[in-house]
């Protein structure tokens, strides 16, 4: 496994030879969720490239950027074991020699949920991912469904910029107690960590409830269930069309659903999502 701090050097090492190249962009503080993406990439591609970069332009909260966990040494050990060939761990200056002023427009896709609650977040994601794609030029890029809306935004970006890469969505990896693995879980207090699995439990309970209830009733049910724990506070819970990410007003036959939540657990903001809501999407 080779580690690069400079994009130009990584590009040169990758060369122009046509080799099926897979790419996994991450912000480090790696866990089994990231590892599942790298292992899938390893199975499907000849060459596996992983980036570890905490991208400042996608943080709308400076305190969140400051406290974001970083541990490159441990990350490199995990990546080596998972079968990565190339790691790109750059400085901010290497990725952004000059400020990126590009403004993307993803229509309605980035106006709801994370897009509505974290202004500028997806614009920053598109900035960094488009730069990383330009350096790595991958054939396939792997993204976790943990960030469900992010996949739709990346797909829109790839279409708009006509980047010839296949986006591969990967299932959410959870702890034994159901909590979706996240680098931010390490920042939870012991009490909030103990409460956090109730998010997934409520999302799943909502799927059962939704079989005989309306969209609005289900959204209220899940929200109240999570909020019933004083340590958790729902920022939003919304059931959307899984393809367009647009909010559903009623269940529709043939439309796949996804229930997406953002929850404040003390100082830490957690997101999670589950599919299969309503009487049709079983
Ligand atoms: P991050 O380092 O949080 O930016 O995540 C890098 C990639 O790993 C993104 O595509 C995430 O969606 C994905 N990822 C993060 N957590 C999980 C998880 N628990 N299961 C599956 N993929 C994940």
Model pLDDT, residue 52: 98
Sign of the CA dihedral running 161, 164, 166, 172: negative
String of DSSP letters for 160-201 = HHT---EEEEEPPPB-TTSPBP-GGGGGS-HHHHHHTHHHHH
What is the count of structural domains for the chain? 2
Residue 106 is classified by DSSP as -
Residue 76 is encoded by which pair of tokens?
Answer: 């490199």
d(CA 132, CA 134): 5
For the domain that residue 211 is a member of, what is the CATH number?
A: 3.30.1300.10
Neighbours of 118 (CB within 10 A): 20
Q: Which residue has the tokens 């739709």?
A: 152
pLDDT value, residue 90:
98
Q: What is the CATH number of the domain that holds 70?
A: 3.40.50.620
The answer to whether 245 touches 238, Cβ cutoff 8 Å, is: no
Does 247 lie in the same domain as 198?
Answer: yes
pLDDT score at 282: 87
Please tell me whether residues 43 and 133 are part of one structural domain: yes
Q: Which of 147, 170, 193 is the last residue of a domain?
A: 170
User: Among 84, 118, 124, 144, which residue has the most ligand 1 atoms within 8 Å of its CB, making it the best to mutate?
Assistant: 144
Q: Which two tokens stand for residue 239?
A: 């059931």
Same domain, 74 and 199: no
Query: Which residue, of 115, 135, 170, is where some domain finishes?
Result: 170
CA 97 from chain centre, in angstroms, equals 25
Per the domain annotation, does 153 fall within a domain? yes
Q: From the CB of 121, is ligand 1 less than 6 Å away?
A: no
- The reply to whether ligand 1 has any atom less than 6 angstroms from the CB of 180 is yes
The answer to whether 258 and 274 have CB atoms below 8 angstroms apart is: yes
Mark whether 85 and 43 lie in a shared domain: yes
- Backbone region of residue 36 per phi and psi (left: phi > 0; alpha: psi in -120 to 50; beta: other values): alpha
Domain that holds residue 197: 183-275
d(CA 50, CA 135): 12
End residue of a domain, out of 102, 136, 170:
170
| Residue at 175 is within a domain | no
The pLDDT value recorded for residue 98 is: 97
Segment 25-53, tens digit of pLDDT: 999 999 999 999 999 999 999 999 999 99
**Looking at ligand 1, which atom is closest to the CA of residue 180?**
19
Residue 239 covered by a domain: yes
- Does 258 contact ligand 1 (Cβ within 6 A)? no
Cβ–Cβ < 8 Å for 268, 235? no
Residue 144's pLDDT is 98
- C-alpha span between 25 and 64 (Å, rounded): 19
State pTM to two decimals.
0.97
Residues of the chain with confidence (pLDDT) below 70: none
pLDDT at 82: 98
Residue nearest to atom 12 of ligand 1 (CA): 144
Ligand 1 centroid, distance to 260 Cα (angstroms): 15
- Is 229 among the domain residues? yes
Domain identity same for 141 and 238: no
Residue nearest to atom 11 of ligand 1 (CA): 144
Helix, strand, or coil (residue 39):
helix
Are residues 136 and 255 both part of a single domain? no
Strand partners, 265: 232, 268
Q: Three-state SS string across 44-81, please? A: HCCEEEEEECCCHHHCCCHHHHHHCCCCHHHHHHHHHH
Q: Is 178 within the bounds of a domain?
A: no
Q: What pLDDT score does 175 carry?
A: 98
Q: Is 124 in the pocket of ligand 1 (CB under 6 A)?
A: no
Instruction: Give the Å distance between the CA of 62 and the centre of ligand 1.
Output: 21
Mutate to test the pocket of ligand 1, among 26, 260, 268, 271 (most ligand atoms within 8 A of CB): 26
Angle at CA of residue 144, ends 228 and 269, nearest 5°: 35
Closest-CA residue, ligand 1 atom 17, reads 33
What span, in angstroms and rounded, lies between the C-alpha atoms of 35 and 18? Answer: 25
């Amino acid at each position: 496994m080779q580690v690069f701090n400079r994009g130009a050097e990584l590009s040169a090492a990758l060369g122009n030879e046509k080799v099926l190249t897979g790419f996994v962009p991450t912000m480090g503080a790696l866990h089994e969720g990231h590892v599942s993406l790298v292992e899938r990439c390893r199975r499907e591609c000849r060459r596996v490239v992983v980036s570890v970069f905490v991208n400042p332009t996608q943080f709308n909260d400076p305190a969140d950027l400051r406290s974001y966990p970083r541990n490159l040494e441990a990350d490199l050990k995990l990546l080596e074991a998972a079968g990565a060939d190339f790691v790109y761990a750059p400085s901010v200056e290497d990725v952004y020699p000059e400020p990126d002023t590009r403004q993307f427009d993803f229509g309605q896709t980035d106006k709801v949920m994370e897009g509505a609650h974290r202004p500028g977040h997806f614009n920053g994601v598109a900035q960094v991912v488009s730069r990383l794609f330009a350096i790595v030029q991958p054939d396939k890029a792997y993204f976790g469904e943990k960030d469900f809306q992010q996949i739709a935004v990346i797909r829109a970006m790839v279409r708009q910029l006509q980047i010839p890469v296949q986006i591969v969505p990967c299932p959410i990896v959870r702890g034994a107690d159901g909590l979706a693995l996240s680098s931010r879980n390490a920042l939870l207090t012991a009490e909030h960590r103990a409460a956090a699995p109730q998010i997934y439990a409520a999302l799943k309970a909502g799927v059962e409830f939704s079989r005989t209830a309306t969209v609005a009733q289900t959204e209220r049910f899940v929200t109240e269930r999570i909020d019933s724990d004083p340590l958790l506070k729902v920022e939003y819970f919304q059931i959307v069309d899984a393809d367009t990410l647009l909010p559903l007003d009623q269940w529709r036959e043939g439309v796949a659903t996804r229930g997406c939540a953002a929850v404040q657990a003390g100082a830490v903001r957690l997101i999670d999502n589950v599919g299969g809501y309503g009487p049709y999407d079983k």
